[in-house]
């Protein structure tokens, strides 16, 4: 449940990077060329959606190991090796060892490798991964994203340049990844992560519990803005004891919706562009009246009892959702996100879109797999990724578990929970297929739209470009300030964005501490880089 985990306001923070020009970034035409050079107006490689087997596949539809010329080397020529991979998730999976064993069996004849995937809970993800790098623990792969310190990992040397490895060991995977994703995820012209082949835009809104929507005859088509939810929140508060109208944890907030609708570009840790501002002059977003109004709104909801009292300290959102404690919660949306959330929680949800889909630089870097500097065999790690993006059996085994135990096939491309298994009782229910390879090879659950992947393409096509699409900020000259700013944010973000703290009292304190931390110097440095970027584009 990706939107539950992304860090509230920080998910809108622009990626810190070195330099980048995203192909076609100056255009509002989101069409792109497919790997064979043909146009794909949907913004995704249509061939990837329809063809589980790329070039160089064996009789089982799986790519064998490749050498620098793209030819098969054969597993027999490779020494045994274990692929160690860390990903974040709601919780470790009870049957993870069994799934790892099945993957290992499958990989033996492909690349002579064993498999060890470990899920780390989102609340401790950053701290645990930092410790692994600090101790130089050997492992191969990890989840990376623009919002999750991607370029910090690059600047610290913790993830490696994969560009040559992709060409050498994963030519088939490269052929199925949407070119704009592969290009847009580059930093200084180099790929430090393999992007998941999926949707490319960000849209925000809310999830509503379907049984309560039906019970109170709520017409969701009338909900156009956050304030339209308030009458329904009053109904839930008065008539549904034990159900929180707007359920939050310390990392989620209505500000994700609010800021998308009130700014052309919002970055709490650097420069912000208010809506409709044409001079490209960055400002401190916290000092804008728009930001103050957003904090006022969530604080008023907290005071009215719409928000759970422990929102500022609650780590895990999913537990409350599964337990039926929530009527609504904010979520990053895409076509079929409500079906995914329903499968994950065992509670039926409907989604309400409250922002237009937007493609920003961070979205092209929104979900990637990188190779650790501590990997003992980066080539083997890349061979595995080549399989992950091209082998339908492998990606579904990792995403959904073991057929017959965790799921059953309804038809060739549709699955349901295995007999006697539910979302709550399954020993392997990651519900994070967006982490793995090529989503267009994923099975669909029975409650999902059979046209989901086509709608992903249409979703990308309908998205507008972020005003600063293609621009990324190099924080090298202000590293001390950005580190101090990050600490200040830890002090204030959860309390303010959950509505717990009164913005009339604490927002001025937040602004003062951000200034003392050097936010004005950071914005000035970003402005200089933005001006140079625009000049280079002839703007």
Kindly indicate the confidence band of residue 31, based on its pLDDT and cuts at 50, 70 and 90: very low
Q: Can you give the pLDDT at residue 18? A: 31
- Asked whether the predicted pLDDT for residue 370 surpasses 90, the reply is yes
How far, rounded to the nearest angstrom, does the alpha carbon of residue 522 sit from its chain's CA centroid?
Answer: 26
Inter-residue contact 176 to 63 (CB < 8 Å): no
Q: Can you give the pLDDT at residue 21? A: 28
Q: Rounded distance, CA 170 to CA 67, Å? A: 9
> What pLDDT digit, counting tens, does each position of 397-440 carry?
999 999 999 999 999 999 999 999 998 899 999 989 999 999 99
Angle between helix axes 96-111 and 378-390 (nearest 10 degrees) is 100
Helix ranges (H only) for 266-367 are 289-303, 318-322, 337-345, 361-364
212 three-state secondary structure: helix
Q: Between vectors from CA 62 to CA 60 and to CA 68, what angle results, nearest 5°?
A: 140
Q: Can you give the pLDDT at residue 418? A: 95
Q: Give, for 518, the enclosing helix (H) or strand (E).
A: none
Kindly indicate the confidence band of residue 200, based on its pLDDT and cuts at 50, 70 and 90: confident
Average pLDDT of the residues in 337-364: 90
Query: Burial, 279: exposed, middle or buried (Cβ in 10 Å; 0-12, 13-18, 19+)?
Result: exposed
Task: Note the pTM of the prediction, 2 decimals.
Answer: 0.66
Helix ranges (H only) for 32-137 are 46-50, 96-111, 122-134
Q: Can you give the pLDDT at residue 431? A: 86
List the single range of 246-250, 280-284, 429-433, 455-459 with lowest mean pLDDT. 455-459
- Asked whether the predicted pLDDT for residue 38 surpasses 70, the reply is no
Name beta bridge partners: 121: 89
Q: Rounded distance, CA 175 to CA 35, Å? A: 5
- Asked whether the predicted pLDDT for residue 10 surpasses 80, the reply is no
Beta strands in 122-252 (DSSP E): 141-144, 186-187, 190-191, 194-195, 203-209, 244-246
Q: In what order do the strands lie in the sheet with 263-265?
A: 263-265, 271-274, 283-284
> What pLDDT digit, counting tens, does each position of 445-492 carry?
998 889 888 888 888 888 888 888 778 788 889 999 999 999 999 999
Which domains can be identified in the chain, with CATH numbers?
21-50+74-199+363-465 (3.40.190.10)
Cα 314 to Cα 5, 255, 383, 451, 492, distances in angstroms: 12, 17, 40, 36, 15
Encode burial over 217-252: b for 16+ CB neighbours within 10 A, e otherwise: ebeeeebeebeebbebbebbbeebeebbbbbbbbbb
- Asked whether the predicted pLDDT for residue 41 surpasses 50, the reply is no
For 399, phi then psi, to 5°, come to: -75, -40
Inter-residue contact 117 to 369 (CB < 8 Å): no
Q: Rounded distance, CA 47 to CA 102, Å? A: 28
Kindly indicate the confidence band of residue 63, based on its pLDDT and cuts at 50, 70 and 90: very low
Dihedral sign from CA coordinates of 413, 419, 423, 428: negative
Average per-residue pLDDT in the chain? 85
The percent of residues in the chain predicted with pLDDT above 70, rounded, is 86
> What pLDDT digit, counting tens, does each position of 106-140 carry?
999 999 999 999 999 988 999 999 999 999 999 99
Q: Between vectors from CA 12 to CA 202 and to CA 131, what angle results, nearest 5°?
A: 110
Cα 303 to Cα 206, 238, 287, 500, distances in angstroms: 20, 15, 23, 8
Q: Rounded distance, CA 74 to CA 178, Å? A: 28
- Asked whether the predicted pLDDT for residue 167 surpasses 90, the reply is yes
Tell me how long the chain is.
539
Q: Can you give the pLDDT at residue 390? A: 97
Q: Can you give the pLDDT at residue 153? A: 93
Average pLDDT of the residues in 32-56: 32
Average pLDDT of the residues in 381-392: 98
Kindly indicate the confidence band of residue 9, based on its pLDDT and cuts at 50, 70 and 90: very low
Q: Can you give the pLDDT at residue 469? A: 77
Name beta bridge partners: 527: none
Q: Can you give the pLDDT at residue 447? A: 87
Kindly indicate the confidence band of residue 20, based on its pLDDT and cuts at 50, 70 and 90: very low
For 330, phi then psi, to 5°, come to: -75, 145
* Closest listed residue to residue 133, CA positions, set 185, 86, 183: 86
- Asked whether the predicted pLDDT for residue 278 surpasses 70, the reply is yes
Kindly indicate the confidence band of residue 73, based on its pLDDT and cuts at 50, 70 and 90: low
Kindly indicate the confidence band of residue 236, based on its pLDDT and cuts at 50, 70 and 90: very high
């Amino acid at each position: 449940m990706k939107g539950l985990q992304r860090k509230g306001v920080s998910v809108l923070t622009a990626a810190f990077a070195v330099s980048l020009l995203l192909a076609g970034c100056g255009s509002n035409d989101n069409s792109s060329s497919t790997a064979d050079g043909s146009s794909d107006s949907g913004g995704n490689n249509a061939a990837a959606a329809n063809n589980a087997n790329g070039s160089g596949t064996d009789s089982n539809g799986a790519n064998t190991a490749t050498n620098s010329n793209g030819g098969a080397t054969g597993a027999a020529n490779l020494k045994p090796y274990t692929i160690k991979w860390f990903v974040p998730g709601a919780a470790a999976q009870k049957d993870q060892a069994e799934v790892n064993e099945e993957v290992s069996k499958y990989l033996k004849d492909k690349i002579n490798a064993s498999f060890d995937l470990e899920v780390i809970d989102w609340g401790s993800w950053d701290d645990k991964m930092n410790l692994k790098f600090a101790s130089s623990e050997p492992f191969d792969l990890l989840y990376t994203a623009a919002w999750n310190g991607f370029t910090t990992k690059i600047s610290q040397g913790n993830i490696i340049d994969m560009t040559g490895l992709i060409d050498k060991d994963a030519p088939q995977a490269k052929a199925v990844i949407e070119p704009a994703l592969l290009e847009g995820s580059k930093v200084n012209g180099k790929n430090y992560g393999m992007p998941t082949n999926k949707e490319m835009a960000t849209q925000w809104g809310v999830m509503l519990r379907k049984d309560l929507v039906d019970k109170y005859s709520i017409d969701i088509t009338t909900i156009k803005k956050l304030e339209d939810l308030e009458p329904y929140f009053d109904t839930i508060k008065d008539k549904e004891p034990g159900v929180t109208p707007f359920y939050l944890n310390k990392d989620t907030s209505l500000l994700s919706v609010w800021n998308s609708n009130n700014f052309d570009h919002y970055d709490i840790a650097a420069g912000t562009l208010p809506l409709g501002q044409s001079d490209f002059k960055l400002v401190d977003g916290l000092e804008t009246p728009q930001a103050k109004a957003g904090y006022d709104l969530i604080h008023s909801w907290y005071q009215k009892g719409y928000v759970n009292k422990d929102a500022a300290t609650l780590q895990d959102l999913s537990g409350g959702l599964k337990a039926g404690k929530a009527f609504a919660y904010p979520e990053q949306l895409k076509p079929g996100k409500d079906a995914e959330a329903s499968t994950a929680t065992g509670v039926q949800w409907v989604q309400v879109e409250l922002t237009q889909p937007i493609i920003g630089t961070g979205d092209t870097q929104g979900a990637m797999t990188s190779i650790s500097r501590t990997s003992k065999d980066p080539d083997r790690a890349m061979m595995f990724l080549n399989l992950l993006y091209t082998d339908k059996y492998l990606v579904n085994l990792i995403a959904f578990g073991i057929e017959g135990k965790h799921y059953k096939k309804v038809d060739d491309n549709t699955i349901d929970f295995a007999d006697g298994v539910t979302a709550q009782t399954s020993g392997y229910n990651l519900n994070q297929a967006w982490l793995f390879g090529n989503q267009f090879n994923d099975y669909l659950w029975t409650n999902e739209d059979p046209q989901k992947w086509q709608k992903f393409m249409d979703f990308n096509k309908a998205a507008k470009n972020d005003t600063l699409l293609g621009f990324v900020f190099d924080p090298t000259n202000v590293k001390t300030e950005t580190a101090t700013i990050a600490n200040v944010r830890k002090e204030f973000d959860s309390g303010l964005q959950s509505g717990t703290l009164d913005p009339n009292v604490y927002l001025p304190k937040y602004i003062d501490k951000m200034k003392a931390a050097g936010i004005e110097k950071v914005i000035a440095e970003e402005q200089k880089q933005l001006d140079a970027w625009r000049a280079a584009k002839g703007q």
